[in-house]
């Protein structure tokens, strides 16, 4: 195309449009010839992009215990790439209605054509809910001005620890009587228990003044269960006889990350004993003396001064 004459010593902006051009990266060469026969040219790349950003997926978080969580999602633009200064979000609760527009943050470079994550930071939902009470919506532009939306995403928030501890039971006393096995039941009513995070217990031998570190307990069920589950602490090593000084406490987590702690239960323990009878054979008409020895299983110590009754 001929763009006319340019007087010596003056600038001119040259503009033209490309119509019907297929999408993609185009190389455009502009050459100019001066009136005295000299030439010059310049080549530039133009990306023709009529396609919206796509590939929305990977929304986070799943369950969270943060009342003002970061919410993020992945999106991609394959031609001109994402415009990192035009990434937006809105949020909604019944109390606030729709709030926005706000700018997302991202670590993506401007014009990135890779799958990138964009983030709505510290969204102030400030309430629990896992079924649509808290929602967020994203919009991303590419560098050519095309945009697309993620649709409303549900943000699941659980701020309540596992609860309703019940049915604490000593199910066996152990071989010595001093290492009982204890069970208790608990549930979580929103995100559910995290069975894969494990259950724990700690114990005290001085009435709760000092405590052991936490040990693993077993737990029934699977991740996300909202039904009562049973925790078991096997053979808790109190190793002392006491009606009042042995205490145990359980810990368990929900899927959203809230830890719950049981009440401190008292576990009364008593020594287990064995009774050995010496040979008592004799002759009719003569007196036979019965002899028995009472021992403590934990250390095999002989216990004296005890009354033993025989029935023959
Ligand atoms: Ca595009
Ligand atoms: Ca919970």
User: Which ligand has the shortest distance to the CA of 143?
Assistant: 1
Answer whether residue 95 is part of any domain.
yes
**Ligand 2 midpoint to CA 22 (Å):** 54
Angular region, 129: left φ>0, alpha ψ -120 to 50, beta rest: left
**Ligand 2 midpoint to CA 158 (Å):** 5
Answer whether residue 7 is part of any domain.
no
pLDDT of residue 67: 98
Q: In the predicted model, is pLDDT for residue 20 greater than 70?
A: no
pLDDT of residue 26: 85
**Ligand 2 midpoint to CA 252 (Å):** 11
Answer whether residue 293 is part of any domain.
yes
- In terms of Cα–Cα distance, which of 194, 231, 229 is closest to 214? 231
| pTM of the shown model | 0.82
What confidence tier does 7 reach under pLDDT thresholds 50, 70, 90? Answer: confident
Q: Are residues 68 and 124 in the same domain?
A: yes
Looking up residue 177, the CATH number of its domain turns out to be 2.60.40
**Ligand 2 midpoint to CA 64 (Å):** 10
Question: Which residues on neighbouring strands pair with residue 275, listed in sequence order?
Answer: 294
DSSP state, residue 48: E
**Ligand 1 midpoint to CA 59 (Å):** 21
Q: Are residues 120 and 152 in the same domain?
A: yes
Angle at the Cα of 297 (from 288 to 280), degrees rounded to 5? 10
Range of the domain at 120: 54-157
What confidence tier does 277 reach under pLDDT thresholds 50, 70, 90? Answer: confident
Domains in the chain, number: 3
Q: What percent of the chain has pLDDT over 90?
A: 71
The token pair at 47 is 């990306």
pLDDT of residue 16: 73
Q: What percent of the chain has pLDDT over 70?
A: 98
How many Å apart are CA 202 and CA 186, to the nearest integer? 16
Q: Work out the average pLDDT over 200-204.
A: 98
Answer whether residue 1 is part of any domain.
no
Q: Are residues 80 and 152 in the same domain?
A: yes
User: Which ligand has the shortest distance to the CA of 23?
Assistant: 1
Q: Are residues 294 and 312 in the same domain?
A: yes
Q: In the predicted model, is pLDDT for residue 11 greater than 70?
A: yes
Q: Are residues 210 and 281 in the same domain?
A: no
Q: Within a 10 A sphere around the Cβ of 138, how many other Cβ atoms? A: 25
- Ion ligand 2: residues, CB within 5 A, are 158, 160, 188, 190, 254
Q: Which of 157, 176, 203 is the last residue of a domain?
A: 157
Answer whether residue 150 is part of any domain.
yes
Answer whether residue 134 is part of any domain.
yes
Q: Are residues 178 and 209 in the same domain?
A: yes
**Ligand 2 midpoint to CA 188 (Å):** 5
pLDDT (tens digit per residue) in 135-189: 999 999 999 999 999 999 999 999 999 999 999 999 999 999 999 999 999 999 9
pLDDT of residue 1: 64
Q: Which of 104, 138, 157 is the last residue of a domain?
A: 157
Q: In the predicted model, is pLDDT for residue 2 greater than 80?
A: no
Answer whether residue 41 is part of any domain.
no
Of 133-147, 208-222, 277-291, 292-306, the poorest mean pLDDT is in 277-291
Angle at the Cα of 102 (from 100 to 104), degrees rounded to 5? 145
**Ligand 2 midpoint to CA 260 (Å):** 9
User: Which ligand has the shortest distance to the CA of 77?
Assistant: 1
Q: Are residues 257 and 280 in the same domain?
A: no
Q: Are residues 237 and 254 in the same domain?
A: yes
pLDDT of residue 198: 95
Question: Which residues on neighbouring strands pair with residue 27, listed in sequence order?
Answer: 45
pLDDT of residue 171: 97
- In terms of Cα–Cα distance, which of 171, 173, 215, 196 is closest to 255? 196
Q: Are residues 147 and 181 in the same domain?
A: no
More confident residue, 189 or 12: 189
**Per-chain mean pLDDT for the chain:** 93
Q: In the predicted model, is pLDDT for residue 283 greater than 90?
A: no
pLDDT of residue 3: 67
Reduce the DSSP state of residue 107 to 3 states and report it. Answer: coil
Q: In the predicted model, is pLDDT for residue 127 greater than 80?
A: yes
State the Cα torsion 16-17-22-24 to the nearest 10°: 60
Q: Are residues 175 and 242 in the same domain?
A: yes
Q: Are residues 59 and 151 in the same domain?
A: yes
Q: Are residues 63 and 144 in the same domain?
A: yes
């Amino acid at each position: 195309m001929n763009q006319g004459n340019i007087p010596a010593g003056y600038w001119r902006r040259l503009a033209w449009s490309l119509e019907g051009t297929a999408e993609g990266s185009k190389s455009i060469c502009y050459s100019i010839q001066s009136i005295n026969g000299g030439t010059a040219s310049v080549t530039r790349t133009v990306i023709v992009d009529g396609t919206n950003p796509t590939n929305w997926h990977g929304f986070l978080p799943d369950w969270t215990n943060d009342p003002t969580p970061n919410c993020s999602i992945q999106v991609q633009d394959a031609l001109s790439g994402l415009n990192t200064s035009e990434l937006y979000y809105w949020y909604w609760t019944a109390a606030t209605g729709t709030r926005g527009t706000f700018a997302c943050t991202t670590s993506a470079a401007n014009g990135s054509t890779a799958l990138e994550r964009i983030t709505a930071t510290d969204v102030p939902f400030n309430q629990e809910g896992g079924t649509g009470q808290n929602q967020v919506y994203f919009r991303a532009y590419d560098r050519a001005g095309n945009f697309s939306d993620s649709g409303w995403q549900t943000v699941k928030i659980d701020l309540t620890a596992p609860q309703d501890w019940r049915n604490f039971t000593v199910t066996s006393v152990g071989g010595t009587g001093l290492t009982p096995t204890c069970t208790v039941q608990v549930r979580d009513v929103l995100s559910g228990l995290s069975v894969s995070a494990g259950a724990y217990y700690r114990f005290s031998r001085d009435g709760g003044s000092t405590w052991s570190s936490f040990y693993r307990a077993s737990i029934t069920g699977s991740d996300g269960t909202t039904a009562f589950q049973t925790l078991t602490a096997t053979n808790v090593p109190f190793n002392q006889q006491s009606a009042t000084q042995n205490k145990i406490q359980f810990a368990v987590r929900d899927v959203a990350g809230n830890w719950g702690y049981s009440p401190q239960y008292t576990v009364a323990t008593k020594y287990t004993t064995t009774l050995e009878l010496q040979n008592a054979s004799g002759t009719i008409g003569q007196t036979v003396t019965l002899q028995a020895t009472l021992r403590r299983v934990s250390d095999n110590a002989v216990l004296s001064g005890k009354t033993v009754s025989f029935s023959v």
